[in-house]
Amino acid sequence: MELKDYLRIFRAHWLGMLAVIVGAVVLAFGWTLTQPKVYTADSTAIVQANTGSEDLGMQSVGNNIANQKVKTYVELGSSRSVASRVIKELSLDEKPDTLVSAINVTNPLDTTSLRVTANASTPEKARDIAEAWVRGMAAEVNDIEAGDATKQGAVFLRPIDSARLPSSPSSPNTKLALAIGALVGLALAIGYGLLRYTLDRRIRSVESVERETGVAVVGTVPEEKSFTADDRLIPFDGGNSANSSKAHLFAIAEAMRELRTNIQFMDVDNPPRVMVITSPLPGDGKSTTASNLAITLASSGQKVVLIDGDLRRPMIDTVFGLPKGAGLSDVLAGRAELAEVAHRVGGNGRLLVIGAGKIPPNPSEVLGSARMKELLEAISREAIVIIDAPPLIPVTDAAVLAHSTDGAIIVATVGKTTFEVLGKALSNLERAGARALGIVLNRVPRRGSGAAYYGYQYHGDYYRVEKPEDEAAELLASTPSSEPVRAEPSARDDDGTPPRRSTHRAS
């Protein structure tokens, strides 16, 4: 993984990661509320030698003695004997061992002073214990050096600073706890994001699909929430009209043009003429993709024939609003001629749509028949053929069809299709000896966390068509826009060719 992969993971899961960090901080704050408050007070004393002389030499000797003794008195400060004196002086209801654990005696570097730090549940108690502890240590030193706690010996301990009343508790340290909680939360959040990335086997990015499958992604189609079962087509001019009533489908139209370009440049010398559009499982949008791709190819000036090859659950007639009746199965069975079942749709007359017809009991055998292969070869000599086929995993129809064509384009759903499912679909194609032309990622999120996996996002402001103001724009706007139509079945002219029929707008 590269740095950009980590950034995409964090952008995709930032909401969950933020929740983890906030949760850790809240837990840290809650922990501080449950902890007892502890106040800390400091008191200082100095170790001195009683030389009884103003001679500098004697004072130097006294300082050396004090430096030697101060280390010993640090240990003395943690003794139970000093604690007993403090308990007796302050009338505390505590045991010496307990009190000793609340005291810390230190010797600052290169000094003969001792610093006593006392912890207690109240500010007053902490201050009193710190001062009493210094007095108790002084008494213990006198008892050792002079044999009498009230008399100073050769070395004695003199308090030099009284303890101050603490204004705020030293523990729990709320700021420190929150900082630690944030750091721990950040670590957990990073682990959460990486774990989600590792365990989530759903398709999320173009790079991951190509890396896992070895098949190129030839198109990415954005999610369009305005699509319905009866209205899911881009304009028949390919979305080029400036004043089209479906101008809001600019992103879909642009994605289809990109897919069209990628297909045309798969093999410049021998581009595919017959293509199967399929998907791993139902519901991935293969019929919508096949229909809009056919419209886009026809809008570029090419003759296109769209065939509903799903002889189990046909959808093309519903997508285009065509009357249900004879179709592909009737042609293959010899009950109808091709021109009798073909419907010319769109304003340019370059797109013919052939429905599925009567559903046969053996779809796989019908689609894999020699008659089907001959039909596709005949049509492909005059037009590009797009076949909407059933899903690859539930049935073998698409693999059988793809074997007799230039290959199959697999439509997968972002955030739904898993790599295992996609891999199985590709394996079914490979076992049938068919070629995978590429993968189309459908329902790509335009915004939000899901869109972070992609190197681009669909921005409406870029593609939005403004009101034409110059002559060229006005001329473009004056061109009649195409709307989805319900086409009538074509019939033969006297010369045997299917004539172009008039169309009417769909309701």
Give yes or no for a contact between 306 and 353, defined as CB atoms under 8 angstroms apart: yes
Name the pTM for this structure. 0.65
d(CA 316, CA 328): 12
SS3 184: helix
pLDDT at 229: 82
pLDDT at 468: 40
Give the closest residue to 169 by CA, choosing from 42, 43, 41, 31: 41
Give yes or no for a contact between 306 and 352, defined as CB atoms under 8 angstroms apart: yes
The average pLDDT across 471-484 equals 39
pLDDT at 456: 41
DSSP state of 451: G
- Cβ within 8 Å of residue 321, ≥6 positions away: 230, 484, 485, 486, 506
Residue 59 CB: number of other CB atoms within 10 A?
13
- Average pLDDT, whole number, for the chain? 84
* Pairwise pLDDT comparison (62 vs 147), residue with the higher score: 147
Q: How confident is the model at residue 490 (pLDDT cuts 50, 70, 90)?
A: very low
Q: Please give the domain boundaries of the chain with CATH numbers for all domains.
A: 3-35+172-199 (no CATH), 39-161 (3.30.70.1130), 206-491 (3.40.50.300)
SS3 394: coil
Model confidence pLDDT, tens digit, residues 33-78:
999 999 999 999 988 887 655 555 555 666 777 788 888 888 888 8
* Pairwise pLDDT comparison (66 vs 312), residue with the higher score: 312
Model confidence pLDDT, tens digit, residues 112-139:
889 999 999 999 999 999 999 999 999 9
Residue 395 CB: number of other CB atoms within 10 A?
17
For residue 496, pLDDT over 60 is answered with no
Model confidence pLDDT, tens digit, residues 354-370:
999 999 999 999 999 99
- Cβ within 8 Å of residue 376, ≥6 positions away: 274, 385, 387, 404, 405
- Cβ within 8 Å of residue 272, ≥6 positions away: 263, 266, 405, 406, 407, 437
d(CA 505, CA 317): 15
pLDDT at 294: 96
Q: How confident is the model at residue 151 (pLDDT cuts 50, 70, 90)?
A: confident
For residue 466, pLDDT over 80 is answered with no
